[in-house]
């Protein structure tokens, strides 16, 4: 493990991102755009906008970081740069932490912009602290990153990696409680929702935005998110191989 190497990887990932202004605009612009759409769609039902808007600010970074990381990591695997990195004096964790630092920064920026638009011009109002919503959003960005990193090992092409978004993110969004209360779901799905990390991400956000504070259960949610992120990173490290067939 070396701070210098992790910092080098983080700086490189960010520089690559900056080389691609269109992606940066999409990354930072999509959440405010979707929130604005949502505000317009709920024009005659503002309470409903208040109900879903808050949690969504915190959930967007999860899905974008998932896609960005799975594609970036897949590229690293398919262009041979990962193989080169694995022949250099560099720990696997340096690579993963480097990605973590870079995408935590991007996730923070993304959450700040989404929050500024939502809590500003869109008039979104949450019961709890908006700073806490942003903090949870950053945590969810890291969760999305670690999940993206892990699934990138199972994709051979970018087409496959992109399909992981509807395959892995959408079911979690549907079952996390955002659209339908989990208690009202078919019993099987209710049970399944306990195994999905986004359920805990939504629950924590719901507690802050609707109930006003995390409370003990919310803290437990945060612990689950953190543990899942670390677990996925550890499993992700196993998919970075020094030797390949």
Partner 1 sequence: MSVEVEGLTVRRGGREVLRDFGCSIPAGRVTGLLGPSGCGKTTLMRAIVGVQVVAGGRVTVLGAPAGSPGLRSRVGYLTQAPSVYGDLTVRENMRFFGRILGEGEGRVDEVIETVALAPFADRVVSRLSGGQQARVSLATAMLGRPEALVLDEPTVGLDPVLRRDLWATFRGLAARDGVTLLVSSHVMEEAEHCDELLLMREGELVAALTPAELRRRTGRDHLDEAFLALIESGEGE
Binding site for partner 1 (CB under 8 A): 4-5, 7-8, 11-12, 15-16, 19-20, 79-81, 83-90, 242-245
For partner 1, which is the closer residue by CB, 44 or 242? 242
Shortest distance in whole angstroms from residue 46 CB to partner 1: 43
List, in sequence order, the alpha helices (H) in 120-212. Answer: 130-151, 158-164, 170-175, 187-193, 197-206
Shortest distance in whole angstroms from residue 99 CB to partner 1: 14
Task: Say if residues 166 and 70 touch (Cβ distance below 8 Å).
Answer: no
Contacts of 198 (CB under 8 A, 6+ apart): 59, 62, 169, 172, 173, 175, 176
Q: How far apart are the first and last CA of the chain?
A: 26
For partner 1, which is the closer residue by CB, 16 or 163? 16
87 φ, ψ (degrees, to nearest 5): -95, -5
Shortest distance in whole angstroms from residue 79 CB to partner 1: 6
Contacts of 226 (CB under 8 A, 6+ apart): 139
For partner 1, which is the closer residue by CB, 75 or 182? 75
Nearest to 28 by CA among 114, 140, 144: 114
Shortest distance in whole angstroms from residue 69 CB to partner 1: 16
For partner 1, which is the closer residue by CB, 85 or 118? 85
CA angle 184, 126, 138 (to 5 degrees): 85
Shortest distance in whole angstroms from residue 25 CB to partner 1: 16
For partner 1, which is the closer residue by CB, 5 or 136? 5
Task: Say if residues 56 and 35 touch (Cβ distance below 8 Å).
Answer: yes
For partner 1, which is the closer residue by CB, 93 or 174? 93
Task: Say if residues 86 and 240 touch (Cβ distance below 8 Å).
Answer: yes
Shortest distance in whole angstroms from residue 1 CB to partner 1: 13
């Amino acid at each position: 493990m070396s701070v210098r190497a992790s910092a080098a990887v983080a700086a490189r990932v960010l520089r690559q991102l900056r080389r691609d202004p269109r992606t940066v605009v999409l990354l930072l612009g999509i959440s405010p755009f979707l929130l604005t759409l949502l505000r317009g769609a709920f024009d005659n039902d503002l309470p409903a906008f208040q109900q879903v808007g808050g949690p969504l600010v915190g959930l967007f970074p999860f899905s974008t970081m998932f896609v960005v990381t799975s594609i970036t990591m897949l590229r690293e695997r398919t262009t041979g740069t990962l193989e080169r990195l694995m022949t250099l004096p560099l720990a696997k964790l340096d690579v993963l932490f480097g990605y973590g630092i870079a995408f935590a920064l991007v996730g923070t920026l993304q959450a700040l912009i989404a929050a500024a638009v939502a809590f500003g011009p869109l008039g979104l109002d949450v019961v709890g602290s908006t700073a806490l919503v942003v903090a949870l959003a950053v945590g969810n960005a890291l969760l999305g990153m670690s999940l993206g990193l892990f699934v990138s090992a199972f994709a051979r092409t970018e087409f496959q990696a992109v399909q992981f978004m509807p395959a892995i993110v959408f079911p979690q969004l549907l079952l996390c409680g955002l659209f339908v209360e989990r208690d009202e779901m078919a019993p099987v799905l209710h049970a399944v929702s306990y195994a999905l990390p986004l359920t805990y991400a939504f629950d924590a956000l719901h507690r802050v935005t609707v109930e006003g504070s995390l409370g003990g259960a919310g803290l437990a949610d945060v612990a689950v998110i953190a543990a899942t992120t670390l677990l996925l990173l550890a499993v992700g490290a196993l998919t970075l191989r020094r030797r390949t067939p």
